[in-house]
Amino acid sequence: MQVRLNWTPEQWLRLSIGVALITITLKTLAWWITDSVALLSDAMESFVNLAGAMFALRMVVVAQQPADEDHPYGHHKAEYFSSGFEGILILGAAIGILWSTVDRWLTPVPLAELDIGIALSVGSSVLNGLLAWGMLRAAKRYRSKALEGDARHLITDVWTSAGVVAGLILVKLTGWWWLDLLAAALVAFNIAREGINLVWESSQGLMDEAVDAQTLRDINEVLEGFVLTRNGHEILRFDHLYTRRAGGRCYADVHMHMPGTWSLQRAAALRLSVEQALMSAVPGLRATIQLLPLTVEAHFEGPHEKME
């Protein structure tokens, strides 16, 4: 499979849908041949991959819609719904796997053709691993929460398959059929943990979480480059920096203090230069800069990002 890092988020998610269909076929066939609960759990997670990728694709399209009268700040937060939805699907799959494990414990069934089942599971894991690697790099480039959520789920799927394969190999070597159930239960708990993490991170995004530490450092570095001093005193400084993230878009609000004798034209031109420098340093950033004289201080009760 050729991996193209210049694909758009929509193209990556369409590829994810295609790979999910292939892995569903491979894993379902593996379960059908072997009658392994662990392989059934692996196949169930692939159905979650498919549903998650389809929903993520829809949310990415919505997130890229321009601002309108009802949504003046755009639709960028739609991606958080995708990540949260996928987390909920993962939790549902974990519950279904545990239910199947209990049912098989009560009514044991002998396993068959484990070699074929293991081979099919390994093949699907290779596809998911390559796709997840490419999607994670694209998610970082586009700052896409939907891509990141889908990629992390695929990575979980790879580890799931690895655990299933290890369990089936032990079953084949020892003849202990209950190891198949143990592998399935471990898979359930592992993907449940990932689902909880996705739901939590999505909720934080919807709560206007601040930008990450690296982005904040980039913003501070730009602002510090514009600070001016005269005779040991700052005549141009910044304070009360607030940041938040909405999907692939970042926002920064900051106060810029300057001498009150400067003309409005000079102040506006400088503000434009700062805004352009910020947007060049941090792709997807929208900055709001309030102009204030040096002698005026604005006070806020809430915490804000500190200038370093």
What range does the domain containing 148 cover? 9-206
188 and 223 together in one domain: no
**Which of 35-44, 231-240, 254-263 bottoms out in mean pLDDT, i.e. has the lowest?**
35-44
31 and 46 together in one domain: yes
Count other C-beta atoms under 10 Å from residue 268's C-beta. 12
Q: What is the per-residue pLDDT across 275-302, written as a single tens digit (0 to 9) for each?
A: 999 989 988 788 889 999 988 876 655 5
Q: What is the mean pLDDT of the chain?
A: 80
- Bin 305: left if φ > 0, else alpha if -120 < ψ < 50, else beta: beta
Q: What is the pLDDT of residue 301?
A: 55
Pick the residue with more confidence: 180 or 135?
135
Final residue of a structural domain among 184, 206, 228: 206
Cα separation of 9 and 53, whole Å?
11
The CATH number of whichever domain residue 223 belongs to comes to 3.30.70.1350
Q: What is the per-residue pLDDT across 64-91, written as a single tens digit (0 to 9) for each?
A: 777 777 777 666 667 667 667 767 877 8
What's the rounded mean pLDDT across residues 247-257?
A: 84
> Residue 75 has which token pair?
């639709």
Task: Name the pLDDT band for 1 (thresholds 50, 70, 90).
Answer: very low
Task: Name the pLDDT band for 186 (thresholds 50, 70, 90).
Answer: confident
51 and 143 together in one domain: yes
147 and 284 together in one domain: no
**Which of 117-121, 251-255, 257-261 bottoms out in mean pLDDT, i.e. has the lowest?**
117-121
> Residue 282 has which token pair?
């941090």
What's the rounded mean pLDDT across residues 12-31?
A: 89
Cβ atoms 10, 60 nearer than 8 A: yes
Identify the bridge partners of residue 236 per DSSP, sorted by sequence position. Answer: 228
Task: Name the pLDDT band for 185 (thresholds 50, 70, 90).
Answer: confident
187 and 147 together in one domain: yes
* Residue 271 DSSP label: H
Looking at the domain assignment, is residue 4 inside a domain?
no
Which value, in Å, is the radius of gyration of the alpha carbons in the chain? 25
Cα separation of 77 and 244, whole Å?
11
By CB neighbour count within 10 A (0-12 exposed, 13-18 middle, 19+ buried), where does 287 fall?
buried
In this model, does residue 238 exceed pLDDT 90? yes
Q: What is the pLDDT of residue 304?
A: 52
Final residue of a structural domain among 188, 206, 224: 206
Phi, then psi, of 231 in degrees rounded to 5? 55, 40
118 and 261 together in one domain: no
Cβ atoms 192, 89 nearer than 8 A: no
74 and 103 together in one domain: yes
Q: What is the pLDDT of residue 2?
A: 47
Number of structural domains (the chain) is 2
pTM tops 0.85: no
16 and 139 together in one domain: yes
